[in-house]
Amino acid sequence: MTGYLGSYATLGLLLLAGVLFLVVAFTANRVLRPARPADPPGKRASYECGLDPVGGDWAQMQIRYYVYAYLYVLFAVEAVFLFPWAVIFDRPGFGLVTVVEMAIFVGVLALGLLYAWRRNILRWT
């Protein structure tokens, strides 16, 4: 398909094929499933690695898990920026300005880590 609207027609056909695929999949699921699915005892019970469940199915989550996950993502993103910079640093045109920029970047991240350390966020209780 060529012309001005050719790419839109291709996109429209792709979207139509995707919707058609979903409709066929859901229809096949409805047609092929059992009329009355079995519901054995314990099917809807909590599952704990093959052991009998202990206690209720609701537990309060500590906020520190989210803080650790956030800090991990923060420093993983730092590594994503540091590695390519370190690989191309020896090429011509990268001089003192580039080192200063990366020092500022690492310094801001270090300030964030220092803040978390001073607020005792990193202490596991």
Confidence (pTM): 0.42
- Please give the pLDDT value at position 48: 61
Q: Confirm if 21 and 29 have CB atoms less than 8 A apart.
A: no
CATH code of the domain made up of 4-119? 1.20.58.1610
The string of pLDDT tens digits covering residues 31-81 is 998 777 677 766 666 666 666 666 666 777 777 778 788 888 878 887 888
Which residues are within 8 A (CB) of 47 and not within 5 positions of it... i.e. 6 or more apart?
Answer: 53
**Residue ranges of the domains in the chain?**
4-119
| pLDDT reported for residue 19 | 97
- The per-residue pLDDT for range 8-20, each reduced to its tens digit, is 888 899 999 999 9
